[in-house]
Amino acid sequence: MIKSYCTVYLCIISLIMFAQPQKNNPYTLENLGIKSKKALEYFIEAEQLAQRRVFDQAIPLYLKAIKAEPNFDRAHAGVANCYFYSRQDSLAEIWFEKTLALNEKKYAIFYSVIGDINYQQGKYEKAVQNYEKYTKSPNADAKTLEKVNFNKKNCAFALNAIKNPTSEQPKNMGTNINTIYNEYYPSLTIDEEQLIFTAQRPRNAEISDVRNQGSSKLKMYDEDFYVSTFKNGEWQKAVNLGPPVNTLENEGSCCFSADGKSVYYVICDKIGCDIFVSDYIDKKWSEPRRLNENINTRYWESTPCISADGNTLYFTSSRPGGKGGYDIWKSTKTPDGDWGPAENLGDSINTPYKEISPFIHPDGKTLYFASEGHPGMGSADLFMSRIKTDGTYSTPVNLGYPINTPGSEASIIINRKGDIGYYSLKKPAHEGGDVDLFTFQVPEHVKPIKTSYLKATVINADTQKPIQNATLNLIDLSANKPILQKNTDEDGNVLSVLPANQLIGVFIEQKGFLTYSEHFQIEENSADKPQLLTIKLTPIQIGSTTILKNVFFEFNAYQLLPASYPELDKLADMLQQNPKLKIELSGHTDDIGEDKFNLTLSQNRANAVKEYLVKKGMQAERIQAKGYGKTKPLVPNTNEENRKQNRRTECLIIGLE
């Protein structure tokens, strides 16, 4: 998780408090500017404990030194430093101020540290006051000033954000998800039925056992994945995902594919963290596979997120070539199905500070992430950026208050409807510093584009048994561009995102069966309605027929529209793969218009489809074209929806030799 304090300040305080010069003894009455030998004795002993970071024992000795020598500035600073390192911020602030009252010039750096404490606690106005005092110090150094000025800008942003909240108060996900330990990095299946997240649990101990031990909690923890199912309007008690995904090593930061059949996640060992993938096959998870060297390096890789089409992986890496210590990168699958070279997301997203936890929404166009480098409210905040038509990213937008707080927000996901978000919040140290999962209503200005999904069960039309490994192809019919390809599981099920505002062709193919086709034009205002289908594939045999639902013509004309080409290309492929196959292409109309006109129109449309196939190399003698006009309706022509079904092109198997 993201640290609460800037490392540079810790280093500076350490230099002031703990560094011991090689020459001259610093622990003398003269060097320390005191007169009490007793105070010196207490101070030296306290320093030795503080250097070993035994702060709880050092503080009483510093206090005894102060009692013996009330104006002992180094002892005051020692108390402040011990409280600071112990994350007891309120007490640290008091003692930093006492130290400054004794020697403001020598300890001016403490103004910046107090400012940081105020900043982390959300006391932004007070933080600015202390930052201003540091900037006026003649001993202010450039590196600290850079950080102070950066935080001052964040304070201004935060004060304005609090005055203009963007959302209702986020809600803790409750005891079925959160415990006294840490929960973070949520992942959600596209149908929103399963929530998977990383949880920190004591090794070799149940939660109930540790609760009873009070302050004597075990200090050895393990990171595993837990899963909760949404049922009866609420998230059920989370359970351990189990082996082989969970192991004795630390697993974290998972991202499930849209259908929940693959999980990309991080395994950390003593050397570092790498990204792996496991697939759900035959009702069990496969052994994890480490992704290639384009993804994993000798540096730190984490927080993977797979796009809905499965072709782009976003992740965080500390590798060279970025904008800061931790940047967001992406990799796209190559034609052979492996991961290509990683690409840094660039200056719009990455900064010299830390960017982590990318989440690409199923709409494929809206990116969410956590950053310490863009204007925020303290530590890490959550941001949204749109992917523009040229592939670059818009200026990130802060999700605003009260979603973002002085604490550390990270690992965000947004449901496919774009109205509910899930994220982890690490509370500031003064509030306990624990990490829980929260939900929130997504503000309008940072909502993604709604997406629907197709959930289909593919069965044999004759036997009614599920068909495994049938291929689902989604094609953008307007651009004749592939969107996605995947196979049905052992139960014949397949699930896929359906983007809004596109004419999407759906094709289900399996060797020995006629291709099933369908199309959807999902409007954004209705994208929350999933398409649930049972698809019956017809075996290739004489008399089998299928409707070519993605063949389109101009109104009252027989010119093929370009959106028909993907369907007809697949029909040509089937004929090529089955060289003995003979078919009849039949055209059909509704009952509107004169019978003679409809008969001629249907014949011309059947002829147009045949001509296309012949141009693709199919022998003309294998294809008959026949128009039936209105004579063979599928349903009564009683309304426009029925008439639409009756206006169609069919393919009938008439020969296999």
Write down the pLDDT at residue 484.
86
pLDDT value for 204: 61
Q: Which domains are seen in the chain, by residue range?
A: 7-163 (1.25.40.10), 182-205+220-446 (2.120.10.30), 454-655 (3.30.1330.60)
The reported pLDDT for the residue numbered 24 is 67
**What distance in Å separates the CA atoms of residue 566 and residue 551, rounded to the nearest whole number?**
9
Residue with tokens 């782009």: 312
pLDDT at 340: 97
- Of 392, 365, 394, the closest CA to residue 497 belongs to 365
Phi, psi of 246 (to 5 degrees): -85, 135
Residue 87: the pLDDT is: 86
Question: What pLDDT score does 271 carry?
Answer: 74
Q: Are 42 and 69 in contact, with CB atoms under 8 Å apart? A: no
How many whole angstroms separate alpha carbon 160 and alpha carbon 578? 68
pLDDT at 217: 41
- Count Cβ atoms below 10 Å from residue 640 Cβ, excluding itself: 9
The parts of the chain modelled with pLDDT lower than 70 are: 1-24, 204-220, 428-433, 525-527
User: What is residue 205's predicted lDDT score, i.e. its pLDDT?
Assistant: 46
- SS3 of 417-429: CCCEEEEEEECCH
pLDDT of 9 reads 43
> Both tokens of residue 570?
């697949």
How far apart are alpha carbons 471 and 511 in whole angstroms?
10
The whole-model pTM stands at 0.83
pLDDT at 393: 96
Instruction: Report yes or no: 581 and 622 within 8 Å, Cβ to Cβ.
Output: yes
